[in-house]
């Protein structure tokens, strides 16, 4: 009945340490053996997704920036784009500087930021476990505006704004929503990441919003891909845990929320599987295969 499985990465396929379990990997392999296309949908930039997925053979297609790009693994090329242009990025940088909030720019192949904090601290920690060629490139600069102004490319995947205060982020999001040409994703619950320092683990927690180009979301990108593959939405399964997964879970033939998902995501899902730390994706896939 199902021909395509779309799977979110962080908080869904990966555990809280950002690791892919052998159980989830094996379940995906069996789904592919049964003729299902595997689509990994993430807010990450494409190189970061590739470093996880290609070496493990877990994706036929990769979607980055919450729907900003689609990468065809077999053809080794980007087949769809809906990115933010430089002019808009510079406008949002001015907004962030005026409102004194921590932000990061996700370019096509790197992240530009002013310091290692919040979500970027998690990416940096993840890099310690990767080979040099697989690391997520992080460029730290004291003047992001000038850096972007002189940046050669014109494709930007998304912008993230982080803070430890939900009240501050809500106020910032309301102002951002007045800017034409962008969509603002407001994440309702606090993000928690586990950072390893030597033999000890500690958690970082923060609230965040993401800015993407208008109509660039996981559902629109996956629907575009499904149309190309002549797959109906009823033949799609999706797994997710956060606000940016709501549309794809709501519109798929079978939408599955993780046990660790936000209540909003659970409310639109057809089914709920185990937590990401309990191989919930594998459990959901085996349920489908049975």
Fold of 4-82+216-289: Rossmann fold (3.40.50)
In the predicted model, what is the mean pLDDT of residues 154-175?
Answer: 94
Q: Give the model confidence (pLDDT) of 63-79 as tens digits.
A: 999 999 999 999 999 99
Q: Give the model confidence (pLDDT) of 1-52 as tens digits.
A: 899 999 999 999 999 888 999 999 999 999 999 999 999 999 999 999 999 9
Specify the pTM.
0.87
Domain boundaries, the chain: 4-82+216-289, 86-213
* 192 confidence band (pLDDT: 50, 70, 90): confident
Residue 188 clears pLDDT 80, i.e. is over it:
no
Could you tell me the two tokens for 287? 């349920």
**Integer CA distances (angstroms), 119 to 69, 104, 161, 197, 272, in order:** 21, 9, 9, 16, 26
Partners of 272 in the β-ladder: 257
Rounded to whole angstroms, the Cα distance separating 7 from 182 reads: 24
Fold of 86-213: 3.30.1240
In the predicted model, what is the mean pLDDT of residues 141-168?
Answer: 94
DSSP characters over the chain: ---EEEEEIIIIIB-TTS-B-HHHHHHHHHHHHTT-EEEEE-SS-HHHHHHHHHHHT--SEEEETTTTEEEETTTTEEEEE-PBPHHHHHHHHHHHHHTT-EEEEEESS-EEESSS-HHHHHHHHHHTTS-GGGSPPEEE-S-HHHHHHT-S---EEEEEEEES-HHHHHHHHHHHTTSTTEEEEEP-S-EEEEEEETTEEEEEEEEEEEEEETT--HHHHHHHHHHHTT--GGGEEEEE-SGGGHHHHHHSSEEEE-TTS-HHHHHH-SEE---GGGTHHHHHHHHHH-
DSSP characters over 216-228: --HHHHHHHHHHH
Q: Give the model confidence (pLDDT) of 229-259 as tens digits.
A: 999 999 999 999 999 999 999 999 999 999 9
Q: Give the model confidence (pLDDT) of 269-282 as tens digits.
A: 999 999 999 999 99
């Amino acid at each position: 009945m199902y021909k395509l499985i779309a799977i979110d990465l962080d908080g869904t396929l990966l555990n809280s340490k950002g690791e892919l379990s052998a159980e989830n990997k094996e379940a995906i392999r069996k789904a592919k053996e049964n003729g299902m296309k595997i689509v990994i949908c993430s807010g990450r930039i494409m190189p970061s997704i590739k470093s996880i997925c290609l070496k493990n053979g877990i994706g036929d297609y990769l979607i980055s920036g919450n729907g900003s790009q689609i990468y065809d693994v077999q053809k080794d090329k980007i087949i769809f784009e809906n990115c933010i242009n430089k002019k808009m990025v510079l406008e949002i940088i001015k907004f962030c500087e005026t409102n004194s909030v921590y932000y990061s720019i996700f370019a096509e192949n790197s992240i530009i930021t002013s310091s290692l904090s919040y979500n970027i601290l998690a990416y940096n920690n993840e890099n310690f476990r990767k080979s040099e060629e697989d690391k997520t490139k992080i460029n730290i600069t004291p003047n992001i505006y000038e850096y972007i102004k002189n940046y050669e490319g014109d494709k930007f995947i998304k912008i993230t704004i982080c803070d430890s205060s939900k009240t501050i982020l809500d106020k910032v999001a309301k102002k951002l929503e007045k800017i034409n040409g962008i969509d603002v994703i407001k994440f309702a619950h606090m993000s928690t990441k586990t950072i390893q320092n030597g033999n000890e683990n500690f958690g970082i927690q923060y609230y965040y919003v993401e800015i993407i180009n208008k109509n660039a979301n996981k559902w629109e990108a996956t629907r575009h891909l499904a149309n190309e593959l002549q797959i109906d939405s009823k033949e799609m399964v999706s797994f997710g845990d956060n606000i940016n997964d709501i549309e794809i879970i709501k519109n798929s033939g079978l939408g599955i929320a993780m046990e660790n998902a936000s209540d909003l995501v659970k409310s639109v899902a057809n089914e709920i599987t185990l937590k990401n730390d309990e191989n919930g994706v594998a459990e959901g896939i085996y349920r489908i295969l049975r």
